[in-house]
Structure 1
Amino acid sequence: MGKNDFLTPKAIANRIKAKGLQKLRWYCQLCQKQCRDENGFKCHQTSEGHKRQMELFGMNPHRVVEGYSEEFETAFMEHLRRAHPFSRVLAKNVYNEYITDRHHIHMNATRWLTLTEFVKYLGRSGQCKVEETEKGWYITLIHKDPKQQLEEERRNKRSEVEREEEERHMAALQEQIERAKRARLEKGEPLSEDEDDEEAHTLQRDEIEVR
C-alpha cells in the first residue's frame, strides 16, 4: 500500500461505511461483530471465537435470549424516556432512533420477532399506551410512581422465582416417580393399574414416533 492510499476516495468510502450501520443479517450479536458483506459474515462464522461463543450459547440458549431481551427492553425504554417522555410517537421512529448506535442489541437476538410484538408487549406490561393506526403503532410512555414501579418489579421477580422453583420441584418429583417405578420393575413387583396404563401409553407413543 502506498503512503497516500489512506487518502484515496476508496479508502475514505470504506472508513465511512465502517462507521455507519450495516445490514442486520451480517451482524453477529453473540460476538458483537458487524460484517460488511455476506462473504465476511461466512468467514466470521467459521472463526474460532464465534465457535466458542456458539458453544456457550448452546449450553443455555433460553437464558442468553432472555438476557438480550432484557437489555433491549431496558435500552429502548431509556431512550423513550429521554427523547419522548410525554409525546405520542410512532414506535418505528423510536426504534430507528434507537438503532443509530451500531452496537445496540438487535431485535432478532431477543424473544420478539417483530417490532409489533414488542409494542404489544409494552402495552400488556403497562409500560406504554399503544394505539394501532393506518400509519403504524403509536406509543405513549406511562409514568408510574417510583415506589409503585419498584414494588411491581419485586413482585415480578418473586413470581419468576416461584415459577422456576415449582418447575424444579415438579421435575424432581417426576424423576423420583420414574426411579421408583424402575426399581419396582427390576424387582419384579407389579405396577398399579394407573402406573400400568401410563407405561402402556408411553410405550405406544414411543412406537408411533419410531414408525
Structure 2
Amino acid sequence: MGKNEFLTPKAIANRIKAKGLQKLRWYCQMCQKQCRDENGFKCHCMSESHQRQMQIFGQNPDRIVEGYSEEFEELFLEHMKRSHRSSRIQATVVYNEYIADRHHVHMNSTRWATLTEFVKHLGRTGKCKVEETPKGWFITYIDRDSETLFKEKQKNKRLRADIVEEEKQEREIRRQIEKAEQLMPLTKGEEAEKEKGEPLPLSKPDNGKIAFA
C-alpha cells in the first residue's frame, strides 16, 4: 500500500460511507453491525459471531423483538420531547432526525414494519396526536408531565371551590334557622313560662314605704 492511498478519492469515499448512514436492509441489529453492501451483509450473515447471535435470538424471538420495540419507541419519543415538544411536525422529518445517529435502534428489528404503523401505534396509545394529511402523517407530542401537573392543579382548584361552597351553604343554613326562630310565634305554654318567670312589679303606697303588690 502506497503512502498516499489514504488520500485517494476511493479511500475518502469509503471513509465518508463508513461515517454516514447505510441502507437499512444491510444492518444487523443483533450484532449492531452496518454492512456497506449486499455482498458484505451476506458475508456477515455467514460469520460465526452472527450465527451465535442468531442462536440466542432463536431461543426467545418475541421477547427480543419486543425489547427492541420498546427501546425504539422510548428513544423516538425522547427525541420528540427534546426537539419538538409542542410542535406539529411531519413524522418523516422526526424519523430522519432520529436515524441520524447510526447506532440507533433500527425499525426493521421492531414489530412495526413501516413508519405508518408506528405512527398509528403512537396515536392509539395516546402518546402522540396523529393526523393523516395529503402531505403525509403529522404528529404532535403529548407532554404527559405538563398534562399531569395541569390536571392536578385543576383538581386542587375544584376541591378548594367545593370547600368554599360548602362553608357558604352552612352559613346560609344557620342564617335561615336564626331568622326562622325569630319569626316563630310563642306557644301558650311558652308564654305562661315566660310570665311565670318574670319578677312582680313594685308598688309604692302613700306612706312612702315600698311594698310588693
> Please, what TM-score do these two structures have when normalized by structure 2?
0.68
Q: Distance in 1 between matches of 2:115 and 2:103?
A: 18
Residue identity in the other structure for 1:85: R
Q: How does 1:1-211 map to 2 (within 5 A)?
A: 1-145=1-145
Deviation at 1:147, TM superposition (A): 9.7
Deviation at 1:145, TM superposition (A): 3.4
Unaligned runs of 5+ in 1: 150-211
1:156 match = none
The CA deviation string for residues 138-178 of structure 1, in whole angstroms up to 9 with x for no partner, is 101111237959xxxxxxxxxxxxxxxxxxxxxxxxxxxxx
Deviation at 1:119, TM superposition (A): 0.6
SS in 1 for 2:3: coil
Residue identity in the other structure for 1:69: S
Point out 4+ residue stretches in structure 1 off by more than 3 angstroms.
145-149
2:116–2:137 Cα contact (<8 Å) kept: yes
Pair member with larger Rg? 2
Aligned length: 149
Residue identity in the other structure for 2:78: E
Q: Distance in 1 between matches of 2:18 and 2:144?
A: 40
Q: Distance in 1 between matches of 2:35 and 2:145?
A: 43
Identity %: 74
Residue identity in the other structure for 1:58: G
Unaligned runs of 5+ in 2: 150-213
The CA deviation string for residues 17-41 of structure 1, in whole angstroms up to 9 with x for no partner, is 1101111111111101100111110
Q: Distance in 1 between matches of 2:123 and 2:82?
A: 19
Deviation at 1:10, TM superposition (A): 1.1
Change (3 A) 1:118 1:78: same
SS in 2 for 1:122: helix
Q: Distance in 1 between matches of 2:58 and 2:110?
A: 16
Q: Distance in 2 between matches of 1:9 and 1:56?
A: 41
2:81–2:143 Cα contact (<8 Å) kept: no
SS in 1 for 2:80: helix
Q: Distance in 2 between matches of 1:138 and 1:146?
A: 21
Q: Distance in 1 between matches of 2:83 and 2:13?
A: 31
Q: CA RMSD of the aligned region, Å? A: 1.5
